Amino acid sequence: MRRAMIALWRRGFLKELKRADGPLTEAALVARMDRLARVGHFRGTDAQAEVNRALATGLQAAAELLEEEGRDRRAARDIAGQAFLANARALQQLILRSWLWATPDPVGFVQRGNKLARKARMAWGQGMQVRQENGADHATLLVTDCAFADYFWDAGRSDLTAVFCAWDAAWMGEVNASARPVEVRRTGTIAQGCEACDFCFRRIEMPEAEVTTPNAPAR
pLDDT at residue 209, rounded to an integer: 52
Q: 95-109 burial, b if ≥16 CB within 10 A, otherwise e?
A: ebbebbbebeebbeb
Proportion of the chain above pLDDT 70, given as a percent: 94
Alpha carbon dihedral 191, 81, 27, 4, in 10-degree steps, equals 80
Edge-to-edge strand ranges of the sheet holding 129-134: 129-134, 138-145, 197-203, 182-185
Q: Give the global pTM.
A: 0.89
Q: What is the pLDDT of residues 91-150, one digit of tens each?
A: 899 999 999 999 999 999 999 999 999 999 988 988 899 999 999 999 999 999 999 999
Query: What one-character DSSP code corresponds to residue 22?
Result: -
Q: What is the pLDDT of residues 35-72, one digit of tens each?
A: 999 988 887 778 888 899 999 999 999 999 999 999 99
